[in-house]
Amino acid sequence: MSSASFRSGPPTNAQTCVLRPNGRSWLGSNTGVGKATALDLARRGARVILACRNKERAEAAAFDIRRESGNNQVVFMQLDLASLKSVRRFAETFLKTEPRLDILINNAGVMGPGHTEDGFGVAFGVNHLGHFLLTNLLLERLQQCGPSRVVTVAALLHRFGHIHFPLLTSKKDLVSGQSTWLDFQAYCSSKLCNVLFTRELANRLEGTSVTCYSLHPGVIYTELCRSMSPWLQLLMMPFAKLFFRDPEGGSQTTLYCALQEGIEPLSGRYFSNCGLQQVGAKGRDDALAKKLWERHATLVPANTGQTVTGKRSLSSVSTQTRLQSLTQQVVPMKQDLWTTLKTDSDRQKTCCC
């Protein structure tokens, strides 16, 4: 399938990127699109921190990335998004040991039954709530190191998601139970949460040096099939080779949102195939985004949502007018476009995916 490409540039000055992948074993920077993103950033000279649950796999991935990129600044820090205690512990360790954070990439895609350590539905807890807490805990550092970015990997399936606030209160989940269909619905709804989170975060960060973006990476064969039974994986393989992207292709829009110059005025927007895309109707609802944020601040006992205050709405007429002209500059993207991480010669950059 054809797709836009964000070609890797050569390494430049020393920089630091902390990669914040999914904290579960299904997906993360130790495999698939997360690892491809980490490798690209390492090749650009970034310091990369792989934040993963599985220590053995993550350390093996870090070794592979150091070897392939020639960059020794690739390290592992343990993080399990299914445990809010682990998220807090990771943030505490990171803030004590890493002086910079320039790019935070939230990347998780769990689909299946079960609950997190804190009793939340696994898709809601891992794909979204862990990111919500982590981003808030690291937000002050992001502001101190601006200009900086928060990139959250959502999915096209957010269009099928729903936010049921009574269920969040009674079930600590986005669905009423567990079945194959409800697991799918929970995944879609968690991705809608990703889009709404990015939108509200942008509203709250207006006027600061931190911008944020959500994106659809495309259908990635390695990640999609990880949740399937063996026989279904075998059935899907011929179609995957024709229609699905490989991890490198799936990482391109993530890299675009993390590195592309000039998209700062598009903070809070949604990208796909290295270009600006319209989200579903629910994903454009500022009132819903604000309500969801406020509800999360009660679900997660932490000082979240207090660091910044909203100054604008992405749906306002003035904002929409300003964005219309920018859209023409961003989409479509040239196939040979590439950029490198830019930094002052006397400092390192830190990116967290």
3-state secondary structure of 229: coil
Question: Which one, of 266, 257, 128, lies nearest residue 197 by Cα?
Answer: 128
Torsion of CA 33, 34, 38, 39, to 10 degrees: -30
d(CA 105, CA 131): 9
**How far is residue 104 CA from its own chain's centroid?**
8
3-state secondary structure of 250: helix
Is 270 one of the annotated active-site residues of the chain? Answer: no
Residues sharing a CB contact under 8 Å with residue 268, sequence separation 6 or more, in sequence order = 198, 199, 201, 202, 203, 212, 213, 314
The secondary structure of 264-333 as a DSSP string is GGGTT-EEETTEEEPPPGGGG-HHHHHHHHHHHHHHS-SS-S-S------TTSHHHHHHHHHHHHHHSSP
| Under 8 Å between Cβ of 271 and 194 | no
3-state secondary structure of 152: strand
Residues sharing a CB contact under 8 Å with residue 229, sequence separation 6 or more, in sequence order = none
How many residues in total does the chain contain?
A: 353
HEC per residue, 9-56: CCCCCCCCEEECCCCCCCCCCCCHHHHHHHHHHHHCCCEEEEEECCHH
Q: What angle do CA 313, 315, 320 make, to 5 degrees?
A: 110
Count of other CB atoms within 10 angstroms of residue 96: 8
DSSP 160: G
Catalytic residue ranges: 187
